[in-house]
Structure 1
Amino acid sequence: MRVRNICVLFCLAALFVVPPNIFGHGVEIYDLTSEDRAVQTIRFQYSTGESMSFAKIKIFPPSTAKNNVESLVSISDRNGIFCFIPDEVGEWRVEIEDGMGHKGSIMINAGPADQTPSSAPETAAGKLPLPTGIILGLSIILNIFAICYFMGRVKTGGVNAHQ
């Protein structure tokens, strides 16, 4: 009985101690380009708000975007910001990778100011959908209870120990 009580307290404590981003974090990318669209400015950050400092950046111009031939490889600054001046009109693909498994990309529409700006920021893999996170969390808690229950049964000698 004592083992079961300890397991219950452990599981309840785990609910309050586990950080909300235990499953990792994704990448958020923001196009900060001004109205004149002469200089493309992009901010890269993790979903926790922390900047993706000094992460590797690859830029694919419109003429080579389909061939995956990169025209430039660079890094973001310490604030996760990267700027470039496009020399071609069209959709540029910008990718970022921090070397620890976090990746993201965004399509930038470089051209005259009257063209529509690029789409909303993309987020990369790393975040679990809410229903999946809830199911996974409940599964972990139930598995801890099951392990504690069977550990208690083994210490008392099994099912027939009480007879």
Structure 2
Amino acid sequence: MKKSKRRITCIVLSIALINIPYSIPYSFAHGVEAISEGAGGTAIRAVYDGGEAMSYAKVTISAPDSKTVFQTGRSDRNGRFCFFPDVSGIWKVVMEDGIGHRLEMAVNADQAQKAHIKQPESSGLNKMGKVLFGISLIFFMASLLIWLNAKKILRQTAGK
């Protein structure tokens, strides 16, 4: 009887120890969400004279009345680049393809084009709730194993 109790204890501890490295990092991790913001952005599309897109061109955007760069990046394969101005005024946009072509333009952003920030919806369980759920799941599995082993031991002792 002592051997079987020891074996059950070893199995439960093994399962718990195996799950600890996997459950602890996730309990402290943060989640990510995608937020779709339909309105408020300014999109620019650059094309060559023949109509071909200025793909993956370097883009530099400067805010009105500012000498510092507001945003940098690259256009997509269709020559498009989007940005969300945070103040009204004339924004300076420069696109360069790296082989000598340069496009410099002024974009007028009014108050209606300001970026609208949308708050993400709650995912239901907060971080602590997820941690407690994981711990309770581990205890449930361990209890199930103990119960099954106890049932097996009772059958073996009843047959003797």
TM category, shorter: 0.3 to 0.5
Based on CA coordinates, which of the two structures has the bigger radius of gyration? 2
What TM-score do you get using the length of structure 2 for normalisation? 0.44
